[in-house]
Amino acid sequence: MAIQPPASKGGKKQYNKNQIQKRQRIYNARSIRAEAVIVSSSNKSIAAGDLSESGSMLNVDQFTNSRQFEIKELQLAMHRSKVSGSTRVFQDLPRRLRRRTASHNIKRIPKRMRNRALREMMKNVQEKTVSTSAKPRHGLTAKALYKAKMSIKLLRLASKSKSMKLAFPNNISAARSRVRQKIRTLKKLIKDGKENKKYIRKLNNAMGSYDNIGINKLAPIPKGRPKYVKRQLKFTWLPTHVWNAKRSHMIKRWGYQIPWSATQKCFKMVHRIGSNVATSDGTLCMDTSFMGTIIINADEDNCTFLKETISKLTNFRAVNSKYYTSKKLFQGLMYSPIDGNIIGPSEVIWVDEASVILRLHPTIFGIIFNYLLTLTKKLKVQDARFSISSITITGAESLASLTSILRSTSKSESFEQLKLVSKVTDYKALPQNLSFGFTTIDPRHFGSPKKIKMVKNALSIDKVMELQTNVPKTEIHNALSKLLSQSGRIESYKNQLTIKELNRRRRQMVNSNSNISDHGIIPFEKDTDPEIPIYIYKREESNDWVIMLPWFWHLPLWYQLNRIPRMYNVGLRQFQQLQYENNKLYFPDDYPFTEAGFVENTDYKKEASRRKWEGKPSGKRVNFSKLKNIHSTVIPSVKGEIGDFFSCDWRLLQILRNGISHLLSKGNTLTMINPNKTTRFDQGANRLIEVVNDLFELLKDLEVEKLNIPCSALPILLTTKLDTETKKTISTKEDVANVPLSVMSVRCRYVERGHMKDNARIYEIPKEQENYWKDKRNGIFRADGKLYHDDETPLPEVYNLIGFISSGAYDLSIGGSSGTGFVDQGTLVSSKDKFVLVRNVGSNQYRLAHLDMLII
């Protein structure tokens, strides 16, 4: 409670009794005692026991003792004033657990604090939220009342038919049909259900779970609850949508509503837990059901055809014996079967010779699925987007948290292995591409998550090594084939219990058995209880675990998962952050060499940041076109910043790099401008390319008349090999815009201070400035021994531009700034040492950065 000044004007503030007391309390709390030390007896003129005013010699022990006393007093005073300051008990809670409603509703406060909170609420005579039993009075007109009642009626009927295990007819979930029509249908359905009509389709559970697969066609959008049908017309909800909508910021993209970022600030927390650090002591989880799953089956004759197809899609990689025979997860690029271009990242899991799972990002799902649909004569292609869901978890406690909510239904070697390694906090120590597959009991059987107690030192390095040789292949295969077959999934929903029924069973268990053996876990009954097939695999590339399970088992697992202490939910933004910290690329933002990534960069992100910039008043934004001292030579066609200000301008890079090799190919030297003429045209009024300036003019032409000048669809192409052979020759001037530039993925890290940002420009070090930057690398120091930063750096030329940073930021895992980017492959081949200059957009400061090549 803040002290408020009284209403009267002037004079001293008048405090009431309470306020005076409080002031006194704070005053007392802040007072610090000091120890008076008796002066050493060496000074004979002062009698022993006297206190010195003027200062004199002290004994060492007296001196240290009194300093010790003062430090203790200071600490005590700090503690006292901290305690006296806080007034309400919920202010002691950590930020993460604070609730705004805690000041009204006692249930938001942890139980151990409730008594005190209640007393405080009474003292403050504060309004408490009390549920009223009186009927709410409405001010509805007859029409509105009828409408409201109808929608309630619809929901009642829907829940009734659900509890009667009746499958919804299609028009209930068809959002466009009318309410009264729906009610009529439901009434008829319930009536027919009661009479046990033959044609009524019944489900095998009261939760309304069903299997939603598209065999040789796209799967229909999941029916979901009738109440929320209209909200999913354009963007489908994930199973955890309602849960996540309360706790995360959501984005609508790629046909889904996806958690983007947790509502609470979590940048550092995500680094501490999810990144590759030894101090991680928690888990991050994310609903990744939006990743599209395709199951491809082949009969015996077509096994080789299936292998060929996958081989074609992954550029011959995913059929190597490591993946095909040893059944390990393949993570790599997916290539277009039509033109051989890279589409995006993918995951391939071979189940056996005749079946394979593809997991794809929703942007590229359509391309691959449409291609596979053309092969349906030989293969059975299933769209399992809405029948198999997945959760991605990362962090040191991932496996420990999984084992605390999963139990295998029968004795399982794979589950034993999972249990064995569950306490390993650094899962990089485990063999590559580990996976587990078994059938588990309903996680809701646990009252709360139960940690598995392990024998101490049960795990040795030899046992870890056995994980790779003793793979329970048949067990994993059985679980996987159950998960992948429609009948297996439907079987897993059999007798799926509602919360009500589960609670009834828990109550029975508690009543019947006073000493419960299994710590409050509802015992599993082999014949009636559902068995959930589950597949867990480790991903090397992104350092996390993926759990695949049937769609309608997702939510029960998710709820239990999030009851585990130190489990935090994250979104795509955090996944992007972790990829960045792991030196990995994030799709689609860091994949400009694919169509999806190019569109993301040049359309979405560019538009968004351009609008943001335009929204600012002109005095408060960077005026990019008036930037001075960027390059050592100013060319007339570019004023200020080069290229697009709001994105990585790959087209500029293509034309610049290709143009320079075109200009140099004739054996000429590079000239910036022709001082006599601005630009020259040939007979067909096409621009001649003779100097560097012409390249920028060509770029301007491209923007204006896109169709008249031939240019490649994608300005850049990824190469993974560093050799001169792949370099394409640019002979004619048409090739400049038409031949895509070969780029390599690199990681730049600042050698000294500075902060890299997205879309930063990468320059090579000009030959004549090498010595200066070499000195800079070793450090130029001031006389006081500190690094000297303020010297004027020599500027490179505009043609020294060799690439862009696609995502750059401060990297907590190295304690410095770094960024992922792409650099012209030709310059990497010729350069000796791996140092470059990086410059942020809208700045003329060049920073020295070290360059590492990334393997994708």
Partner 1 sequence: MGVIPKTTKEDKNSKITVKHPTLKQATHNDIKTTIYVKSSTPFVSGIKRINKFLNDLDKRKKDPKFQCVVLLGMGKATEKTMALGCYFAEEKGKRLEVRTKSVDVIDEVIAEGNNDDSIIDDRDRDTSLKKRSLSGIEIKIYP
Position 278 contacts partner 1 (CB under 8 A): yes
Task: Return the number of the residue (63 or 316) whose C-beta is nearest partner 1.
Answer: 316
514-573: which residues touch partner 1 (CB under 8 A)? 566
Three-state SS sequence of 342-356? EEEEEEEEEEECCEE
Question: Residue 295 and residue 368: Cα distance in Å, rounded?
Answer: 12
Task: Return the number of the residue (181 or 326) whose C-beta is nearest partner 1.
Answer: 326
Instruction: Report the run of H or E that residue 77 belongs to, with start and end.
Output: helix 60-85
Q: How would you list the strands of the sheet with 435-440, edge to edge? A: 435-440, 532-539, 544-550, 388-394, 283-287, 567-569
Question: Residue 387 and residue 756: Cα distance in Å, rounded?
Answer: 42
> CB-based contacts of 207: which residues, under 8 Å, 6+ apart?
162, 493, 496, 497, 498, 552
Nearest to 764 by CA among 840, 719, 672, 831: 831
Contacts of 296-302 spanning 24+ positions with Cβ under 8 A = 296/355, 296/356, 296/357, 296/358, 296/372, 296/379, 296/380, 296/381, 296/382, 297/354, 297/355, 297/379, 297/380, 297/382, 298/354, 298/355, 298/378, 298/379, 298/380, 299/354, 300/354, 302/354, 302/378, 302/379
Applying CB under 8 A, the span of 76-84, 314-322, 484-492, 831-839 interacting with partner 1 comes to: 314-322
Binding-site member from 63, 146, 316, 788 for partner 1 (CB under 8 A): 316
Position 430 contacts partner 1 (CB under 8 A): yes
Position 487 contacts partner 1 (CB under 8 A): no
Binding-site member from 54, 321, 511, 771 for partner 1 (CB under 8 A): 321
Position 461 contacts partner 1 (CB under 8 A): yes
Binding-site member from 464, 521, 634, 812 for partner 1 (CB under 8 A): 464
Neighbours of 192 (CB within 10 A): 14
Binding mask 576-615 for partner 1 (x = CB under 8 A): ----------------------------------------
Position 431 contacts partner 1 (CB under 8 A): yes
Position 470 contacts partner 1 (CB under 8 A): no
Position 317 contacts partner 1 (CB under 8 A): yes
378-407: which residues touch partner 1 (CB under 8 A)? 396
Binding mask 344-383 for partner 1 (x = CB under 8 A): ----------------------------------------
Beta-ladder partners of 436: 536
Task: Return the number of the residue (308 or 501) whose C-beta is nearest partner 1.
Answer: 308
Position 280 contacts partner 1 (CB under 8 A): yes
Question: Residue 632 and residue 489: Cα distance in Å, rounded?
Answer: 66
Position 432 contacts partner 1 (CB under 8 A): yes
Position 473 contacts partner 1 (CB under 8 A): no
Binding-site member from 37, 424, 516, 709 for partner 1 (CB under 8 A): 424
Task: Return the number of the residue (424 or 521) whose C-beta is nearest partner 1.
Answer: 424
Minimum distance from CB of 61 to partner 1 (Å)? 16
Minimum distance from CB of 578 to partner 1 (Å)? 18
Position 468 contacts partner 1 (CB under 8 A): yes
Question: Residue 720 and residue 715: Cα distance in Å, rounded?
Answer: 17
Q: How many residues bind partner 1 (CB under 8 A)?
A: 31
Q: Output DSSP code: residue 302.
A: G
Position 722 contacts partner 1 (CB under 8 A): no
Strands (E), 686-740: 716-718
Q: Distance of CA 585 to CAs 542, 580, 606, 673, Å?
A: 9, 7, 19, 38
Question: Residue 247 and residue 377: Cα distance in Å, rounded?
Answer: 46
814-853: which residues touch partner 1 (CB under 8 A)? 815
Minimum distance from CB of 682 to partner 1 (Å)? 44
Applying CB under 8 A, the span of 233-241, 401-409, 423-431, 531-539 interacting with partner 1 comes to: 423-431
As separate numbers, helices (DSSP H) first and strands (DSSP E) second, the chain gives: 26, 21
Position 228 contacts partner 1 (CB under 8 A): no
Position 455 contacts partner 1 (CB under 8 A): no
**R_g (Cα) of the chain, nearest Å:** 34
Position 725 contacts partner 1 (CB under 8 A): no
Binding-site member from 191, 428, 519, 612 for partner 1 (CB under 8 A): 428
DSSP for 798-831? GGGEEEEEEEEEEETTTTEEEEEEEEEHHHHHH-
Chain positions contacting partner 1, by CB under 8 A: 278-281, 316-317, 320-323, 325-326, 396, 423-426, 428-432, 459, 461-462, 464-465, 468, 566, 815, 855
